[in-house]
Amino acid sequence: MKLLLDVSCANDMADDVPCTFYAELTDADIARIKTLAAAVKQVDAYEIKEFDYSGSWYNACCALPAIKDDPDQFITDEVSGLEGAECRVEVPMLCVTQDKFKFISVPKHCGDNFSLSTRHIDIAELDTSTAIISL
pLDDT tens digits, one per residue of 21-33: 999 999 999 999 9
Whether pLDDT at 35 is above 80: yes
What single DSSP character describes residue 123? T
pLDDT at position 43 is 96
Q: What does DSSP assign to residue 19?
A: -
Torsion sign over Cα 50, 54, 59, 64: negative
d(CA 34, CA 37): 5
Confidence band for 69, pLDDT divided at 50, 70 and 90: low
* Residue 79: other Cβ atoms inside 10 A: 17
Q: Higher pLDDT residue, 66 or 104?
A: 104
Helix (H, G, I), strand (E, B) or coil at 56: strand
Residue 7 dihedral angles phi and psi, to the nearest 5°: -120, 135
Amino acid in the structure at residue 56: S
Does the pLDDT value for residue 66 go beyond 60?
A: no
Give the pLDDT of residue 53.
Answer: 94
Count of domains for the chain: 1
pTM of the model: 0.87
* Domain span at 54: 2-134
The pLDDT, as a whole number, for residue 68 is: 60
Residue 124: which pLDDT band, with cuts at 50, 70 and 90? Answer: very high
pLDDT-derived band at 64 (thresholds 50, 70, 90) equals low
DSSP 71: H
